[in-house]
Amino acid sequence: MAKGKKRKVAPGDVASNRLASHKYEFLDKLEAGLVLQGTEVKALREGGAQLKDGFAIIREGEVWLHNVHIPPYGPAARDNHDPERPRKLLLNRREIDRIAGRTIERGLTLVPTRIYFKDSRAKVEIALAKGKDHFDKRESIKKRDQARDVQRELRNVGR
């Protein structure tokens, strides 16, 4: 990959957290709506959001998204939003209760994996995740390298 070029996210995605799959093992994924201000929606459509350090917490029966950076919208100079403000996630009560029990009981965390638009509504995919140990990270890297070597050999056999 050339220096200075950004990697593209999946089609339809505004932002994705690819580093999260290296740090965490995903157990369950949920789709949640985002409560946004007008300038945040416009800024998301322009792109540039970052999920790298983002996490979600359950506070007083509501799910909140923290440390997700949505850049300010240029044309709305003085009426802009705070780029890293906590944002409320919209989930059913049943889903909130289920993930609240699992996060408390097993010490799991909620990690945002991607932000995207679905029928003009901003959605965030959050994953119930367990942190990987250093050994687990080395195992996943080893498996990825082995799969890459197998694909390379299969490609070379046909030549």
The pLDDT score that the predictor gives to residue 6 is 56
Mean pLDDT by 10 residues, the chain (159 residues): 54 82 87 89 86 90 92 81 88 92 85 91 91 78 90 85
Prediction pTM value: 0.76
The pLDDT score that the predictor gives to residue 1 is 43
Q: DSSP readout, 114-157?
A: EEEEETTEEEEEEEEEEEPPHHHHHHHHHHHHHHHHHHHHHHHH
User: CATH no. for residue 44?
Assistant: 2.40.280.10
Task: Map residue 105 onto helix, strand or coil.
Answer: helix
Tell me, yes or no, whether 7 lies in a domain: no
Number of structural domains found in the chain? 1
The pLDDT score that the predictor gives to residue 74 is 80
Neighbours of 155 (CB within 10 A): 9
Tell me, yes or no, whether 6 lies in a domain: no
The number of helix segments (H) and strand segments (E) in the chain equals: 4, 7
The pLDDT score that the predictor gives to residue 7 is 56
CA distance 112 to 123: 11
The pLDDT score that the predictor gives to residue 3 is 53
Tell me, yes or no, whether 4 lies in a domain: no
Tell me, yes or no, whether 83 lies in a domain: yes
- Phi/psi-derived region of residue 82, left when phi > 0, alpha when psi is between -120 and 50, beta in every other case: beta
113: containing domain: 13-132
